[in-house]
Amino acid sequence: MTALTIISTKIRQIDGLYSLNDLHKAAGGEEKHAPTNFIRLDQTQALIEEIQSAEMQTAFRAINGGTKRGTYVCRELVYAYAMWISAKFHLQVIRAFDTIHNPADRTAQMEEVRKTFEKQYQKLRKRYDYPRKLLEQSGFVSADGKYPARLNISMLANTKAFISPLMHLLNELRMDGHDVSAPWDEFIAMREALIAADKALERIYTEALQVNFRAASTAGNK
């Protein structure tokens, strides 16, 4: 006998019949949805009679004592009870039965879960390789003309030419589903500060050249 669980509630079974009391619990346990109220309905009585006469099977059984006390019904009445409660609960019951009565679908669902888990596991195992040689970029040379240039403020501030390994690493982590918003904002702030500092140094250098030029001109005129 295959176990049936609906919204984390295990539905007891006896001789192929399902506990309406457990279904009532799974649906929220409201008094208006009590199994006795459902069984008293004219349409429920008509359905029970039709199932037992046409299908030649037991549709309904009441147990008044013992550990399995309660109302038990066939699958057709389970569907009818769920639909009587709400469309949402009806759909949940249908899907629960589909899971246990369609093993192929269940296997497909389990395979999908396995693939999702494997994908997440591979992300955890992924290597992020950014060796130091990535800083040896052909567009930059040191002050004495040697290559490669050492990492310096001018390189870091040159956002058009310098290829930032840090930026690429953060982007790769973000694409893989990691939340890197804090280090990303820190990186952007540091880069903007470096750009501002590089421009300030350039202005100071330019002004120093102008002062030296004026001083030299004044000395030459004397």
- Give 96-128 pLDDT, tens digit per residue: 888 776 655 556 666 776 676 666 656 656 778
pLDDT 10s digits, 26-45: 999 999 999 999 999 999 99
Report the amino acid identity of residue 152.
Answer: N
Residue 97 · residue 16 · CB < 8 Å: no
What integer pLDDT is reported at residue 60 of this predicted model?
87
pLDDT 10s digits, 58-74: 888 999 888 888 999 99
What integer pLDDT is reported at residue 39 of this predicted model?
92
Structure tokens at 66: 């013992």
**107 CB-side CA count, 13 A:** 3
